[in-house]
Amino acid sequence: MRFFLTLAAVGVVLFSSAPQAFAALGGKTASVDTDRVRLHARDSRSVLAGMTQNDLTLGDGTVTRQFTNPDGVVFAVSWNGPMRPNLRQLFGDYYPRLQTAAAKTASLHARLAFSANDADFVVRSGGHPGAFWGYAVLPARVPAGFDASRLVAQPQTEVLGK
């Protein structure tokens, strides 16, 4: 029975199917404009010292953030909203690491919350149906002065200052 609970928990986390627009973690920045039009989403970009932050707000209210260093490499991603984004696309080559982190949490709670804290890969995910959140970081790629509080994607009303 425990095996089936673990399998179900991992499946919920790993096979979410909402589309994702950004380049994968550790990859180069992809075109956001094409995806924004295709997904009928809103996007915004902030250029800050040492990094660029791209936000995409999907029609269901899910906000996904991509953080790119000066070399154009995505060093962190985060999400917050009623649906999980497509984690396979969001994590790219790091997706197996996400699977490992989720599988290590062998309980019914694993489908909602899991984490990994390795020297080269940090991931946190949690929430419940209708309110999911998470982030992943590649510590070696983070530019100096990065404010880690940016990883927490704020609900749309807070982003817009309402």
Q: How confident is the model at residue 42 (pLDDT cuts 50, 70, 90)?
A: confident
Rounded Cα–Cα distance for residues 149 and 81 (Å): 17
Measured from the Cβ of residue 119, the count of other Cβ atoms closer than 10 Å reads 7
Q: What is the pLDDT of residue 98?
A: 87
The reported pTM is 0.75
What is the per-residue pLDDT across 100-159, written as a single tens digit (0 to 9) for each? 888 877 555 555 677 888 899 999 988 888 999 999 999 999 999 888 888 875 544 333
Question: In the chain, how many domains are there?
Answer: 1
Q: Residue 120's domain spans which residues? A: 2-159
Measured from the Cβ of residue 30, the count of other Cβ atoms closer than 10 Å reads 16
Residue 38 region by backbone torsions, left for phi larger than 0, else alpha for psi between -120 and 50, else beta: alpha
What is the per-residue pLDDT across 52-110, written as a single tens digit (0 to 9) for each? 998 888 888 888 888 999 988 999 999 999 998 888 878 889 999 988 888 877 555 55
